[in-house]
């Protein structure tokens, strides 16, 4: 994984702005879409923020072997039901693969 650059597209839906971020170092430490999603929610969503407010994020991620043996897509976010971090997983063929 040392030769692979991992990029993430960040889209702010309230302003319509987008930018590409290099998350290579984080991807090495938090392998896969689940781990990286957990870290991003922990780092970017302020404690006590409204899950339905503009401070919440929705991270869509895939695993490191996506395309080789199938696909697992994960969505990570702060849940409006519990106020805690939540995750949704989809296995098989997906739009992101």
pLDDT digit string (tens) for the chain, length 97 residues:
457 788 888 898 889 999 999 988 888 888 777 788 888 888 888 988 999 988 888 888 877 767 666 677 788 888 888 888 887 777 765 455 4
Distance of alpha carbon 74 from its chain centroid, rounded? 7
The whole-model pTM stands at 0.71
Cα–Cα dist 74/46, whole Å: 21
Q: How many CB atoms neighbour CB 38 within 10 A?
A: 18
The pLDDT value given to residue 97: 47
- Phi and psi, residue 44, nearest 5°: -100, -25
Contacts of 11 (CB under 8 A, 6+ apart): 17, 18
């Amino acid at each position: 994984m040392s030769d692979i650059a991992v990029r993430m597209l960040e889209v702010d839906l309230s302003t319509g702005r987008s930018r590409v971020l290099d998350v290579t170092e984080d991807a090495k430490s938090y392998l896969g879409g689940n781990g990286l999603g957990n870290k991003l929610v922990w780092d970017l969503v302020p404690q006590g923020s409204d899950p339905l407010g503009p401070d919440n994020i929705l991270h869509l991620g895939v695993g490191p072997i996506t395309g080789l043996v199938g696909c697992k897509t994960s969505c990570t976010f702060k849940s409006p039901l519990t106020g805690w971090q939540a995750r949704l997983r989809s296995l098989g063929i997906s739009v992101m693969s």
